[in-house]
Amino acid sequence: MKVFLSSDMEGTAGVVDWAQCVGDGPEAAAGRQLLLAEVNAAIEGALAGGATEIVVNDSHSTMRNLPPEALAGQASYISGSHKPLYMMQGLDGSFDAVLFVSYHGSVGAPAGLSHTYNPRAVVEARLDGVVTGEAGINALVAAYYGVPVVLVTGDRCACEETAALIPGVHAAVVKEPVSRVAAHSLHPARACALIRETAERAVKGAAAAPPPALGQAGLELSVRTTDIAEAASWVRGVERTGPRELRCAGDDPLATYRSFCAAILLTRGIAETV
């Protein structure tokens, strides 16, 4: 059984501040160790659930947060900041299950470090009319390839948002948000034990899990400024539906996802200067 694991970072137990997940300072180094432990817990659980091959796609910030030699299960590792499929790089139809590890709540949600791809650009994202964060958007790629998303770990908001779009997904809630920069986290050892147990159950049941049924109504975005909306509308598959409103839609879920990622990349410079 082949398993794909996309790891973010803000959903890690004990991580509550950007200093813990961005840069190369001592707090960031400690945050990466917490993340590594949770990723390895998910790998160990997946192996116990029947996985025979695991591919880890580092999906946070510069996307080189994990020491390859320290990954459990001799998992292969996709890293680096430019990837055509971004947080889902490497996924294709040969996989049997997708795991989302250390995911966080969507922009605007009452969750720690909440954002959706670019917090300077995206104010809200709605998939098929349902408010979503990065898990729902990334699940479009799984929908295209027909691979079930069976696990999400992170804060309660991330897990609930994912379950709203992917009924039956197994969730490991490792912290309760207090504010955007505070949370009540499980002890790291308990968080890893919960992730390990939940991942094992999720992978054991993967054969019976359906792929996500997403993207039929497209991905709607509210963005921060009219300049961002204008530039994003230059991307194929992105339609401007209001002064700061956009709709991403393609012939299939993957096309929708690609249009969204292109709009995010194209508008990054504008979003950071206005």
Residue 237's identity, in one-letter code, is G
Residues 36-78 have pLDDT tens digits of 999 999 999 999 999 999 999 999 999 999 999 999 999 999 9
Question: Nearest 5°: CA angle at 259, between 77 and 251?
Answer: 105
Q: State how far the Cα of 7 lies from the Cα of 59, in Å rounded to an integer.
A: 5
- Mean model confidence pLDDT for the chain: 96
Place of tokens 């009319």: 129
**Within 10 Å of residue 211's Cβ, how many Cβ atoms?**
17
Q: State how far the Cα of 135 lies from the Cα of 99, in Å rounded to an integer.
A: 10
Question: Judging by DSSP bridges, how do beta strands 219-223 and 122-127 pair with one another?
Answer: antiparallel
pLDDT at 95 over 70: yes
**Within 10 Å of residue 236's Cβ, how many Cβ atoms?**
10
Residues 100-152 have pLDDT tens digits of 999 999 998 988 899 999 999 999 999 999 999 999 999 999 999 999 999 99
> Would you please indicate which residues are annotated as catalytic (active-site) residues?
115
In the chain, the domains with their CATH numbers are 2-114+139-208 (3.40.50.10780)
Residues 83-93 have pLDDT tens digits of 999 999 999 99
Model confidence at 274, in pLDDT bands (50, 70, 90)?
Answer: low
> Partners of 242 in the beta sheet?
245
Query: What pLDDT is recorded for position 145?
Result: 98
Question: Judging by DSSP bridges, how do beta strands 97-103 and 122-127 pair with one another?
Answer: unpaired
Better pLDDT: 109 or 186:
186
Alpha carbon distances (Å) from 257 to 69, 84, 232, 238, 250: 31, 11, 14, 11, 8
